């Protein structure tokens, strides 16, 4: 009895679910038409920002839950888009790094042309443990360098992560700061120092 | 004349409260949330919320004969029949047979201004968001219309094929990443208990209380902007913060997102205009 009832219910759900599911996923051309109608009046340079590259397109289709094969492809592709400092030095000035981490401006359509963008790291991460106003979208990075014993290999990984988060974690929510040209090499070095300099408040 | 004074007083109160929670060190989120809640309580009556000035201006605008046809908006059909305002906002956006489009409040107002009043809407759209010395007819009218649904429950309209398409496209757009930071709505609004800096982020990816509380509280009076703001402004500002290009006012992607968010917020009790930081 119970089993029959369950099967009947399951069939009913399938029947109801069928047409509804067909509505759930609009085809990509329909979505693109909406996007075009809404953002199409912006300059071509601005519109280019919302044309996803190959990796982001894969993340969008899967809502960030990519398969392991797609994941490998993204890491390979994005690693090739990381460039490391020619002088081999990964750490800049931690005080300047704090300013970059604390600056949420840049890249918004309300910003005057030429606005230097910040990394806005505090929006999502705890860094200096004394700072009260920090976000929790990303993990706490307090004592980051100290906890990692200022290990050079770890430093390189962190540089890679800041430069291109998807080279480390495919479909990471973190911006690809270097590859997307939000931050320049010196800014990334300075943020690196904010994370890794033993004198930085992050490690105090 | 009266508005700037009230705005300044409200802002001063907000700053005092902000300073208060900074001196109280532990634990920051709980304290500030409590203070914000106390502050909301303080201002929640119609005589202290400047958003009600927008409601009053909207009511006057609704009845004022304008445009080449010198008629008011009183015959405008917001979905409940010509001239019926009560409860209309609770069921917007919705499909309108005469336009064969799904429209939100502002889109419908623009349609009525054009077709019914013969009003040149270029100036109206130019003043879509109010600023110092510039009133927005669309913000005021939306505040008036929305207020007439206060106390009612959000009833997303999902019967027509185009309404279903809007909800589905809105969901896709919610998760679509882009801009120089690779952000989407979901970057900030798809997890429980997250915050950006000290600002709590409602999880809008699931139907339920967070989405209900969010959608049921717009339009709202933004103390930080000394202005009444509608969902159009909220979504415009979200895309700004996401580093996307400027979205076109009253365009279909914004309506699609609104339909999706109304779907998540179904059953939420409308209480507008609210007041927010």
CB contact under 8 A, A38 and B171: no
Q: Mean pLDDT score of chain B, rounded to an integer?
A: 89
Query: Is pLDDT above 70 for B4?
Result: no
CB contact under 8 A, A31 and B172: yes
Please say whether the beta carbons of B61 and B137 come within 8 A: yes
Question: Residues A36-69, buried b or exposed e (16+ Cβ, 10 A)?
Answer: eebbeebeeebbebbebeebbebbbbebbebeee
By Cβ distance, the residue of A38, A137, A182 closest to B252 is A38
CB contact under 8 A, A38 and B251: yes
CB contact under 8 A, A39 and B244: yes
- Integer Cα distance of B170 and B151 in angstroms: 26
The model's pTM is: 0.88
User: What is the interface pTM, i.e. ipTM, of the complex?
Assistant: 0.88
Q: B7: helix, coil or strand?
A: helix
| DSSP output for A49-112 | GGS--HHHHHHHHTTT---HHHHHHHHHHHHTT----TT------HHHHHHHHH---SSSTTSP
By Cβ distance, the residue of B197, B245, B256 closest to A123 is B197
Structure tokens at B254: 């914004």
pLDDT tens-place string over residues A38-65: 999 999 999 999 999 999 999 999 999 9
Query: Is pLDDT above 80 for B267?
Result: yes
Structure tokens at B76: 């405008």
Q: In sequence order, what are the beta bridge partners of B196?
A: B199
Question: Which residues of chain A make contact with B199, given a CB cutoff of 8 A?
Answer: 135
Among A125-129, B221-225, B236-240, the least confident range: B221-225
pLDDT on residue A24: 67
Q: Which of A35, A48, A118 to mutate to test the interface with B (most CBs of B within 10 A)?
A: A35
pLDDT tens-place string over residues B138-166: 999 999 999 999 999 999 999 999 999 99
pLDDT tier at B13, thresholds 50, 70, 90: very low
Looking up tokens 């909800």 gives: B167
Beta strands B274-276 and B220-222: pairing type?
A: parallel
Residues of B tagged active-site: 238
| Number of alpha helices (DSSP H) and beta strands (DSSP E) in chain B | 11, 7
């Amino acid at each position: 009895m119970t089993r029959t009832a369950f099967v009947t219910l399951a069939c009913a759900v399938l029947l109801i679910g069928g047409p509804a599911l067909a509505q759930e996923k609009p085809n990509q051309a329909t979505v693109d038409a909406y996007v075009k109608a809404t953002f199409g009046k912006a300059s071509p340079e601005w519109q280019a920002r919302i044309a996803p590259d190959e990796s982001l397109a894969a993340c969008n289709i899967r809502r960030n839950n990519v398969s392991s094969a797609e994941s490998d492809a993204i890491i390979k592709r994005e690693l090739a888009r990381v460039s490391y400092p020619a002088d081999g030095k990964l750490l800049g000035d931690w005080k300047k790094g704090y300013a970059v981490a604390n600056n949420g401006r840049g890249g918004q359509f309300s910003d005057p042309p030429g606005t230097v963008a910040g990394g806005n790291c505090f929006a999502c991460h705890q860094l200096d443990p004394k700072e009260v106003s920090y976000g929790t979208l990303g993990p706490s990075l307090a004592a980051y360098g100290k906890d990692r014993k200022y290990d050079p290999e770890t430093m390189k990984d962190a540089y890679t992560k800041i430069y291109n988060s998807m080279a480390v974690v495919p479909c990471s929510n973190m911006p690809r700061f270097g590859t997307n040209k939000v931050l320049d090499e010196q800014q990334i070095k300075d943020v690196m120092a904010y994370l890794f300099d033993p004198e930085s408040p992050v490690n105090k | 004349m009266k508005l700037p004074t009230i705005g300044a007083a409200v802002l001063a109160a907000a700053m005092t409260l902000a300073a208060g929670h900074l001196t109280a060190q532990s634990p920051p989120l709980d304290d500030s949330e409590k203070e914000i809640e106390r502050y909301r309580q303080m201002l929640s009556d119609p005589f202290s919320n400047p958003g009600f000035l927008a409601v009053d201006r909207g009511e006057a605008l609704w009845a004022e004969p304008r445009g080449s046809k010198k008629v008011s908006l009183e015959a405008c059909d917001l979905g409940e029949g010509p001239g019926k305002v009560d409860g209309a906002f609770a069921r917007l956006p919705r499909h309108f047979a005469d336009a064969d489009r799904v429209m939100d409040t502002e889109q419908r107002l623009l349609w009525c201004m054009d077709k019914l009043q013969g009003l040149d809407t270029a100036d109206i759209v130019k003043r879509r968001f109010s600023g110092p010395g510039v009133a927005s007819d669309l913000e005021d009218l939306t505040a008036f219309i929305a207020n007439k649904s206060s106390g009612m429950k959000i009833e997303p309209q999902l019967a027509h094929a185009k309404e279903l398409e809007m909800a589905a496209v809105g969901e896709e757009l919610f998760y679509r990443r882009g801009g120089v930071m690779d952000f989407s709505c979901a970057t900030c609004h798809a997890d429980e208990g997250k915050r950006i800096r000290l600002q709590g982020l409602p999880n809008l990816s699931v139907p339920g209380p967070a989405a209900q509380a969010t959608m049921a509280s717009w339009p709202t009076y933004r103390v930080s902007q000394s202005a009444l703001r509608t969902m159009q402004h909220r979504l415009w500002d979200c895309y700004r913060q996401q580093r996307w290009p400027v979205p076109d006012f009253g365009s279909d992607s914004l309506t699609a997102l609104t339909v999706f968010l109304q779907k998540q917020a179904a059953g939420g009790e409308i209480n507008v205009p609210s007041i927010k930081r």
